[in-house]
Structure 1
Amino acid sequence: GMKAVADRIHGKGLKAGIYLPVGLEKEGYGEGKLPIWNTDNCTTGDIVYSDLRTTNGWDSSYKIDFSKPCAQKYIDSQAQLIADWGYDFLKLDGVGPGSFKSGDNYDNRADVAAWQKAIKSTGRPIHLEISWSLDINYAKDWKATSNGWRVDTDVECYCNTLVSWENSVEDRWRDTPGWTRYAGPGGWNDLDSINVGNAAMSGLTKAERQSYMTLWAVAKSPLFSGDDLTQLDDYGLSLMTNRDVLKINQQPGKPAKPVTSVGDEQVWASRNPDGSYTVALFNQGDSASPVTADWSALGFTGQASVRDVWNSENLGRYKDGITQALPAHGSRLFTVTPQGPALRTTAYEAESPDNVLTGSASVADCAECSGAKKVGNLYLGGTLQFTHVVVKQAGRYLINVAYTSGDPRSIGVSSNGRTPVATAFPATGGWGAADTISVPVTLKAGSNTVTFDSGTGYSPDIDKIDVPLR
């Protein structure tokens, strides 16, 4: 039986997991006459809606009505059975809002809360993971009632390999950042399984396999192997067992997020409890390219000591930043320890009356923004121009842009009338959620203009810019 399976898995030093779709599966309804364990008179007909409305990502279950007292008792019975079998992990699948479904029938927040309550009552620590492509607008609910939540669709390509770069490994770089703020002790953003260990069957180049593992590690995603563990190649095994990389995934602190994003070049970073930074360089392009991590984007200047995590090698000190040549879809992973002082900046508010707004652009309230204001409605030609950005020295500056965006968007950034450069801004977690990213501009000594131009599209809202002092 199932307990014997769990016991054998535990005997191999592994955890045992089990799977259920959310709701009461149709096959388990039994014309509404099946009794529910540990109750006097509850049956399956007493826990669902009378019209037998369906739920989950496949409509394969009847929706449970948690206004009925028997409903929680049913979930309690399922959780106790799983605990008695000795399982450590439960994946609850097809959960909404999410799983490409919305509306009342697919709102399963009550289900997840009932499962959390039921698992707690068993006395066995069972990790509750919910899936898939959960609606970020309910992220606080997922964090309150589960241990992890899938932020995207399946990573598997359902083709002749486990995954492919285009379908849908590369999507995680775009879809993960907005969720970063919600991850922390007790609940984590789940990027789906790790499929980097089966050589050609993985469907990826070696560079792509390392980037895959690097992103999952720095994003602090739960690490579940989706590989055939009996067919691991040496390279895949080295990726999955690198203790320094696993330590980054497991150490306290917030997940990494993009700090610069220039074309296909991305730098993700997070500050560690000891004051160092985890810094990942990614080349999303289809050809080799250098990628630079600027220390100013991390919030300090001068020197820093750099350790190559994947190669377990101390690289010495680097001034102002580090540049690495990366292959197509390649990556590097560093621990950076500042030796120089904190970066000093001058702040310029987007809503300042000195700025020029054109087209649809307008000032809006924003409780999380600096000064509780931002400039929004930047779409179809709307622009925001900071008119008096003053620096003492001419040169290239990384300005730190505070903004809000409910989804990944781009905006043209320029200085002093130059041609705008389309710059990607990751989602921040909602239109009221402020975050930052560093953007390069060329400034002259004295007064400058810095313009954000929506062009022909829809752009993020801008809160302020912080310009480094030199």
Structure 2
Amino acid sequence: MKSPLRTTAQRVEPPTRRESRVRTGVALAATLAVAIGAGAIPAQAAAPGAKTQAAAPGPKPSPAPNSAGAGATTKDPSPADRAAAQKAAAEAAAQGVADRPYLGWSSWSLQATKYPGVNPNGPASWLNEANVLQQADVLATKLKPYGYEYVNIDAGWSTNYQWEPNFDGYAREIASPERFPHGMKYVADAIHAKGLKAGIYLTVGLNKPLYGGGTVPIWNAPGCTTADIVYPDLRTTNGWDGAYKIDFSKPCAQKYVDSQAQLIADWGYDFLKFDGVGPGSFRSGDNYNNVADVAAWHAAIARTGRPIEFLLSWSLDRNYAADWKRYSNGWRIDTDVECYCDTLVTWNNSVKVRWDNVPGWTPWAGPGGWNNLDSLNVGNGEMDGITEDERQSYMTLWAISAAPLYIGDDLTKLDAYGLSLLTNREVIAIDQQGIPARPVTPTGPAQVWGMKNADNSYTVALFNMGSLPAQVTANWSSFGFGGTATVRDLWRHEELGVHNGAISATLPSHGSRLFKVTPTGVAPKVASYEAEASTNTLVRGASVGGCANCSGGAKVGNLYNGGALRINGVTVPKTGTYQVNIRYTTNDPRSATVSANGQNAVTLAFPPSGGWDIPATLTVAMQLRAGANTIEIDSTTPVYSPDIDKIEVPLTVR
């Protein structure tokens, strides 16, 4: 949304350079997916139980204008919506559903790849009973001791290799005899027998081949047919327009969802991926608003009495984050991680875009509901399509984001390096504590991320996103402490001794380090300067407004088209370089130019803090002179900059 300090008469800003870069990456990452029933058929073509041609894997549509479109902003939920979401998540976690990010394996990365020999019978043909159970065997023997337990079956389980769907006489998908000859209950039972949990896949809406001219009866709903659950004009929905939109004002509609949920519960599934959900999946508008579908599934799952973890996919619209958290246990924040090429992934398409897209979602992660970054493909070496350094960085981001860790690799072909990544107990523990990290120096290729852990230590991650080796430095002051601290390298299992004030490392291209930092010394003094202080200067429309979670209950906003905040009287004991923390709020990527005493101006990218009333911190090195200084935060360009809560200046030089 627009900053609460702006008036409706002011224009909404065009995207910043950072916003444009993020959206370009997402658009380029729009790849392939499978949607059962994605091809249109005549309304009367499908009789109950008949087989009708569905769409084979094809390109995902280009992003339609939505909340990520040019000039758009993300709104904050109402306090009531936020409270309802938090309550629902807490209730789920109390019942043991999504109390921690789940660990496991998913079939889609292998289905999506063109790596030689993986899909010999056509697109996504890898998926079948024998292959799934073979992966389950390896998961149970090699990875279950480390917490991996979910075996998640993705799209195609109800279709043959020509993508003709199989369904029962009640418009419910059932196993393809060609792929799963013993049926889906048999597969779930076999997975459970190994001490694992089973996951299955469906798409939002009534898939077109299941409509059957509107005459198909709904299970356990006398008098209800498929005509009674959709709109009369057969408007379409989901990320591929592959389904008829369900009208939940009709009582038969909930009955249909109940019947599907009961079927997968009776089969014994513990997890459901619900795909093509909007707003999201590169779709927007009323036809693609599936909040009612998600709410109906949430209710239906509860009625089954079976604890089923419920994941929504893909590229969910953050404007609806409170709805996703209220009615599900996880939401895909991005497009598919797979490259749909001759490997499983590539760095550019679309692993690296996650570093840009995670921060805005960070406040929504927690017990009962998690930000889902998609599959983790770091175990198969050449098939992965990325370097060893990239594989480590990939898993590092997933772990520090408290994201589910579900492997997309062929578990029968894990190499030694991949297995060492996936079985690093210290890194898994960072993920499983469920506290997501944030970037504190996100500008440029050298990035520092981290968070405070449950035991009052800190996790600190260094990333080099550039194409050349680079030195990356994490300053303790960025995380709110200082002085000395002991450092442990979590990937290398090495104690690195005591470090005073910071740690630095030279990283290869796309490389990373991951540390546990435990403060041991006395924190240095820090001076704090409120943005709204009367001693400051507000330039060209900048103004003070309220902020419930900001220091002092206020902040400065309306930093637009040259609007600026000058914080006067910033006093330090001697001339030198100081690590200045800028406390800000924004729900969207923003930029601002920061300078001290009119010198050495630098333009910074501010990632979303996650809400206009949720502050986050960014650190910038600034050259200050002994005595009083003026630090200016200036929009400089015709775009809105973030709102500013305060700055913090350590009284020691680094």
Range class of TM-score, shorter chain? over 0.9
AA matched with 1:36: I
Alignment of 1:192-341 (within 5 A): 192-252=374-434, 254-341=435-522
CA contact (8 A) 1:15 1:87 kept: yes
Match of 1:57 in 2: 239
CA drift at 1:156: 1.1
CA drift at 1:94: 1.0
Match of 1:361 in 2: 542
Q: Which one is further off, 344-353 or 405-414?
A: 344-353
Question: Which structure's relative contact order is higher, taking Cα pairs within 8 Å and 6+ residues apart?
Answer: 2
The question of 1:424 aligning with 2:598 is answered no
AA matched with 1:233: D
Count of matched residue pairs: 469
AA matched with 1:265: A
The equivalent position to 1:456 in structure 2, one of 625, 637, 652, is: 637
Q: Which one is further off, 63-72 or 456-465?
A: 456-465
Match of 1:16 in 2: 198
Cα distance in 2, alignment partners of residues 312 and 74 from structure 1:
52
Cα distance in 1, alignment partners of residues 242 and 485 from structure 2:
55
Q: Which one is further off, 292-301 or 381-390?
A: 381-390
Match of 1:5 in 2: 187
SS at match of 2:209: helix
Cα distance in 2, alignment partners of residues 79 and 342 from structure 1:
54
Match of 2:569 in 1: 388
CA drift at 1:264: 1.2
Cα distance in 1, alignment partners of residues 343 and 601 from structure 2:
41
Deviation readout 1:203-234 (Å, 9 max, x if unpaired): 11110000000000010101111112222211
Richer in strand (by share)? 1
Match of 2:344 in 1: 162
Cα distance in 2, alignment partners of residues 131 and 364 from structure 1:
37
CA contact (8 A) 2:583 2:645 kept: yes
Deviation readout 1:142-181 (Å, 9 max, x if unpaired): 1111110011111111222211111111111110011111
AA matched with 1:106: Y
The question of 1:41 aligning with 2:41 is answered no
CA contact (8 A) 2:483 2:524 kept: no
CA drift at 1:112: 1.0
Match of 2:85 in 1: none
CA drift at 1:239: 1.1
CA drift at 1:262: 4.2
SS at match of 1:79: helix
SS at match of 2:393: helix
The question of 1:26 aligning with 2:208 is answered yes
Q: Which one is further off, 266-275 or 383-392?
A: 383-392
AA matched with 1:99: S
Q: Which one is further off, 183-192 or 222-231?
A: 222-231
Cα distance in 2, alignment partners of residues 403 and 36 from structure 1:
52
Q: Which one is further off, 225-234 or 303-312?
A: 225-234
Unaligned ranges ≥5, structure 2: 1-182
CA contact (8 A) 1:261 1:439 kept: no
SS at match of 1:227: coil
CA drift at 1:316: 1.3
Match of 1:153 in 2: 335
TM-score under structure 2 length normalisation: 0.69
Match of 1:173 in 2: 355
Cα distance in 2, alignment partners of residues 270 and 365 from structure 1:
26
Match of 2:267 in 1: 85
Q: Which one is further off, 157-166 or 215-224?
A: 157-166
CA drift at 1:331: 0.4
The question of 1:465 aligning with 2:654 is answered no
Q: Which one is further off, 454-463 or 86-95?
A: 454-463
Q: Which one is further off, 180-189 or 60-69?
A: 60-69
SS at match of 1:203: coil
Cα distance in 2, alignment partners of residues 152 and 320 from structure 1:
35
Q: Which one is further off, 205-214 or 130-139?
A: 130-139
Match of 2:252 in 1: 70
AA matched with 2:522: P
The equivalent position to 2:319 in structure 1, one of 124, 132, 137, is: 137
CA contact (8 A) 1:199 1:233 kept: yes
Deviation readout 1:106-161 (Å, 9 max, x if unpaired): 11111111111111221222110001111111111111111100111111112222
CA contact (8 A) 1:299 1:343 kept: no
AA matched with 2:482: T
SS at match of 1:259: strand
CA contact (8 A) 1:281 1:293 kept: yes
Unaligned ranges ≥5, structure 1: none
The equivalent position to 2:304 in structure 1, one of 110, 114, 122, is: 122
CA drift at 1:338: 0.8
Deviation readout 1:1-37 (Å, 9 max, x if unpaired): 1111222333444432211111111111111111111
AA matched with 1:326: L
Match of 2:291 in 1: 109
Cα distance in 1, alignment partners of residues 588 and 520 from structure 2:
36
Cα distance in 2, alignment partners of residues 90 and 162 from structure 1:
23
Cα distance in 1, alignment partners of residues 524 and 214 from structure 2:
66
CA contact (8 A) 1:420 1:453 kept: no
CA contact (8 A) 2:484 2:519 kept: yes
Match of 1:352 in 2: 533
Cα distance in 1, alignment partners of residues 437 and 299 from structure 2:
31
SS at match of 1:419: strand
CA separation of 1:457 and 1:201: change in aligned 2, threshold 3 A: farther
Cα distance in 2, alignment partners of residues 68 and 432 from structure 1:
38
CA contact (8 A) 2:381 2:418 kept: yes
CA drift at 1:333: 0.6
CA drift at 1:249: 0.7
Percent identity, aligned pairs only, is 64
AA matched with 1:62: Y
CA drift at 1:356: 2.6
TM-score under structure 1 length normalisation: 0.96
CA separation of 1:32 and 1:452: change in aligned 2, threshold 3 A: same
SS at match of 1:224: strand
Cα distance in 2, alignment partners of residues 340 and 274 from structure 1:
16
CA drift at 1:237: 1.5
Deviation readout 1:322-360 (Å, 9 max, x if unpaired): 111111111001111111234543322223333233345
CA contact (8 A) 1:46 1:68 kept: yes
Deviation readout 1:358-381 (Å, 9 max, x if unpaired): 345343443443344333232333
CA drift at 1:413: 1.4
Match of 1:99 in 2: 281
